[in-house]
Structure 1
Amino acid sequence: MNGQEMIEEWIAAEFNLLEVTIESDSAFPFGKRILDTNGDFMIVFFNEKTQRIMCTFKGAEQFQFPVFQ
């Protein structure tokens, strides 16, 4: 499974897709910006070096956190 597939699978498992908007975010590898109805968002992306899904949050793009599945 490649990074894109891993991210899509994780998003589908963690979010109600009817309650969020998902956009591409080209600033990150395979990046997806997940927005809620309040305008808050998180960015999920794939770290090829560690082979892990990572995330960051609105206003904290410099801080990146691993996603535990």
Structure 2
Amino acid sequence: MKNFNDYNTEKMKELKEQMAIAEAEADQYFSGNDAAGIRLSKALEQMETTAQLLRNEISNKKNAR
């Protein structure tokens, strides 16, 4: 496993990238592009997964103290 700070930085960067994708898809969806709704849902699921991985690492580090 990588150093916690490297892991944290990497996961936060992923969340930011996923958020940018979700925002773009949301703009398209709310402009009437129904297919963008599926892509938005997928982007939100990916964000949830990334956030869960980060929360797990934070909990593990906290419990190891």
Into which bin does the TM-score normalised by the smaller protein fall? under 0.3
TM-score where L is the length of structure 1? 0.27
Q: Which has the higher helix share?
A: 2
Higher relative contact order (CA 8 A, sep 6+): 2
TM-score where L is the length of structure 2? 0.28
| Bigger Rg, which one | 2
